[in-house]
Amino acid sequence: MLLLLIDANSAPPLFNTFDMKAFRDYLQSHGELFLDVLELATCGFYLRPIHSSPSPDTQPPLFSQLCFSSLDQVAPPSADAVSTWLDLVHPDDREVFERRVWAPKKHPEITEAPLQYRLRRGDGSYRYSEERGRTITLKESGETIWLSVLLDVDQQFRAKRELEDSHQEIQTILDTIPTFVWIKDESHRILRVNRAAADATGLSPKEIEGQLTRDIYPQQGERFQASDRQLLQDKQPLRRARETLENQNGKDYKMLIDKYEMPSLHDHAPRILVVGTNITEIDEAQQALANKEAQFRNLFERSPMGSVLIDSNHQLQLVNSKIESMYQLAPTADHPIQLSDLMPVYLHEHLTPPADKRASQASTLRQLEFQTTRTDGSEMRISVVTAPIEVENQIMTLATFTDITEPHLVAIDLKAKQEELERSNEDLDRFAYIASHDLKAPLRGIMHLAEWINEDMPKQVGQEVREHLTMLNAQVSRMDGLLNDLLAYARVNQQTDTVEPIDLNTALPQLFAFMSPPDTMRLSLPEQLPCLTTARGPLEQVFRNLIGNAIKHAPQGRVITVTSQVIDESYQFTVSDDGPGIPSIAQERIFGMFQTLESGQDRRGTGMGLHLVKRLVQVQGCEAWVDPGKGKGATFRFTWPTDENIITAAEPQLSIS
């Protein structure tokens, strides 16, 4: 301000009514007064003559006492003033200070613009000072002098720095939150924007700040600005307004917008604070949830079974139309379907959903059956399957109802027939056992009688009688074999054989030798047959019948081959011969009871051997069949359980069907 006083060309309005020339002359004629005015108005000043080139007569700068005392420093001698002053300037500011203030005219950047730098106080701290300088040319001598006035701007500068730091801290906080924030003035110009809001536009904060709202959001800008005007007019905040924000990258953001009027810290102009919450993912999740719910309701209604959704209070939240038709119900708004309309009350507790999600995840399906009555009085049997389900964060029970009246009646009838069949099978087993056992006594009498007749018969009896007696003995022997086979068959379902280890590598050769085969026939075995733990009697009976069948029907053959392999956790055995084979048309029939390929006097068996093989392997849950392969000889195959799958005598056996 003082410099303006001594410059008549820039006199402030306060002195327009004064004679500035007279005032200046007065000060110049009273030098002490001039210096006093400078001291009172500043933190000191100094005068430095400016010369085009240095010379020995160049005068050093002249510092006022206040320059040092305002810093709590002791004023040095005049000769040391310059070096002391430079030492007081902060090291980081010294280069700029020297170039602008102390440099000669070779540095044209010397200007009269204010310069701020730090000066060291007596306690070692630094004070921000502002230096305002001006060149003055004395008219009498033509000498040019640099007059510099020092101002204490420490508090002002630090307040500004604190404000900038506070602004930066606020901006940092705003940039770390996911909420979108805009600050606008009343002309809809965006003054500040946080990182989230900037990213949502695809622009940087610098590209947004200073722009009008409609420049950043061309499609919605006018609507946003109208909302701003309404806010400033009504003085009422805008709450939870749904908006869609455009993005330069083509992605839209679903937002909930809040707007508030806020005062400015620097002027009286109002500011508009806009806060946006990004609900894009929430909106998409809600839409997906709504779609799933609609899909669930559609599937629920279209279910071929009656379905209901039950809450923890045993109230029906959903009922599909299949329930109505199943129970012949006609609900109304005043009389909706109740759970008690569908099932007895004592079963309701079984439909209570679990208390929490963890319990519901651990719950398993539950099935109930009960008898109930339709509205027309007819009886029906219902099967209900329940499962916990989460609907809108609430655990409920989904129950599906199935009318099993007809299957239930069929099951009852089937059970009765099964029981009747089991009784019939038991009777048949008992009959076969008793018949075969009791018939053997009179048969033995006939055999003895035939022997006695043969022994006592006179020599003169004709040949024809002797032939008839031979035929009688043959038929008695065949009858005895038949009774033995019937007795063996009756005992199939009454096995009492204990499970024991059996080595087929030893057992089969012994069995073959015991059957007295022709000298021309041999048994061919692989290098290694299995050693298994099973019921010895049934397995040996199967091999005995198959090997005996080969010996009986292939007497001209020379080899019977036995093989084995493991297939699907079961042993599969084959017994093959090189005899005449079995016609394909008879391969199924030969396993029937009393079935044989021979007839009349050529019939050498009872027709029970292969049927007995079939029943013995079926009791073990396995099968026997003839290999349909073409070629000479017959190949019989049968499966037998491995050790862990063997059916023991203590387990239930298959019944005759």
Residue-wise pLDDT for 62-106, tens only, equals 888 888 998 999 989 888 888 899 899 999 998 888 877 666 454
- So what's the pLDDT on residue 82? 85
Inter-residue contact 609 to 556 (CB < 8 Å): no
**CA contacts within 13 A on the Cβ side of 17:** 1
pLDDT of 181 strictly over 80: yes
Phi, psi (rounded to 5 degrees) for 269: -70, 135
Question: Closest by alpha carbon to 187, among 238, 235, 234, 221?
Answer: 221
9-30: average pLDDT:
50
- So what's the pLDDT on residue 486? 60
Query: Which one has a higher pLDDT value, 426 or 224?
Result: 224
3-state secondary structure of 443: helix
pLDDT tens profile 482-502 = 666 666 665 565 555 677 899
- So what's the pLDDT on residue 478? 65
Inter-residue contact 486 to 467 (CB < 8 Å): no
d(CA 235, CA 260): 8
- So what's the pLDDT on residue 10? 38
Q: How, if at all, do strands 306-310 and 271-278 pair?
A: unpaired
pLDDT tens profile 611-650 = 888 888 888 888 888 887 666 788 889 999 987 555 544 3
pLDDT tier for residue 564 given thresholds of 50, 70 and 90: very high
**169-173, 176-180, 388-392, 413-417: least confidently modelled range:** 169-173
| 514: its two tokens | 């015991």
pLDDT tens profile 459-480 = 777 777 777 777 777 777 666 6
3-state secondary structure of 332: coil
Can you list the alpha helix ranges (DSSP code H) found in 80-129?
A: 81-88, 91-97
- So what's the pLDDT on residue 79? 83
pLDDT of 427 strictly over 50: yes
pLDDT tens profile 199-238 = 878 888 888 888 898 888 887 888 888 888 888 888 888 8
Q: How, if at all, do strands 559-567 and 522-524 pair?
A: parallel
- So what's the pLDDT on residue 262? 82
**Share above pLDDT 70 across residues of the chain, in percent, rounded to a whole number:** 75
d(CA 572, CA 637): 7
Question: Which secondary-structure segment (H or E) carries 394?
Answer: strand 394-403
d(CA 455, CA 240): 124
Query: Which 3-state string (H, E, C) describes 628-655?
Result: CCCCCCCEEEEEEECHHHCCCCCCCCCC
- So what's the pLDDT on residue 494? 55
Phi, psi (rounded to 5 degrees) for 577: -130, 170
pLDDT tier for residue 14 given thresholds of 50, 70 and 90: very low
Inter-residue contact 639 to 617 (CB < 8 Å): yes
Determine whether 615 is exposed, middle or buried from the number of CB atoms within 10 Å of its CB (0-12, 13-18, 19+): buried
Inter-residue contact 610 to 590 (CB < 8 Å): yes
- So what's the pLDDT on residue 45? 85
Rg of the chain over all Cα atoms, to the nearest angstrom: 59
Inter-residue contact 537 to 572 (CB < 8 Å): no
Residue 62, beta-bridge partner list? 47
| 302: its two tokens | 């279209």
State the CB neighbour count (10 A cutoff) for residue 623. 13
Inter-residue contact 134 to 7 (CB < 8 Å): yes
Inter-residue contact 197 to 204 (CB < 8 Å): no
pLDDT of 169 strictly over 50: yes
Q: Helix, strand, coil shares of the chain as percentages rounded to 5?
A: 45, 25, 30
Question: Closest by alpha carbon to 486, among 443, 540, 422, 515?
Answer: 443
Write down the residue that tokens 């559609």 correspond to.
298
- So what's the pLDDT on residue 72? 92
pTM of the predicted protein model? 0.37
What does pLDDT average to over the chain?
78
Q: How, if at all, do strands 144-152 and 45-50 pair?
A: antiparallel
Write down the residue that tokens 């008695």 correspond to.
476
d(CA 193, CA 275): 10
169-184: average pLDDT:
79
pLDDT of 573 strictly over 90: yes
pLDDT of 120 strictly over 90: yes
| 560: its two tokens | 């019977």
Query: Which one has a higher pLDDT value, 581 or 197?
Result: 197
3-state secondary structure of 310: strand
| 625: its two tokens | 């069949």
Question: Closest by alpha carbon to 457, among 449, 477, 475?
Answer: 449
- So what's the pLDDT on residue 473? 75
d(CA 429, CA 45): 136
Residue 11, beta-bridge partner list? none
d(CA 248, CA 251): 7
566-578: average pLDDT:
89
**168-172, 187-191, 208-212, 438-442: least confidently modelled range:** 438-442
Which residues, at least 6 apart from 99, have a Cβ–Cβ distance to it below 8 Å? Answer: 107, 109, 110
pLDDT of 449 strictly over 80: no
Instruction: DSSP letter for 80, please.
Output: G
Write down the residue that tokens 């000072």 correspond to.
129
Query: Which one has a higher pLDDT value, 546 or 252?
Result: 546
State the CB neighbour count (10 A cutoff) for residue 351. 21
pLDDT tens profile 347-361 = 888 888 877 666 656
d(CA 224, CA 339): 53
Side chain identity at residue 364, one-letter code: T
Phi, psi (rounded to 5 degrees) for 530: -70, 150
Which residues, at least 6 apart from 352, have a Cβ–Cβ distance to it below 8 Å? Answer: 312, 314, 397
Query: Which one has a higher pLDDT value, 588 or 403?
Result: 403
29-34: average pLDDT:
63
Query: Which one has a higher pLDDT value, 366 or 33?
Result: 366
| 631: its two tokens | 């070629």
Query: Which one has a higher pLDDT value, 265 or 216?
Result: 216
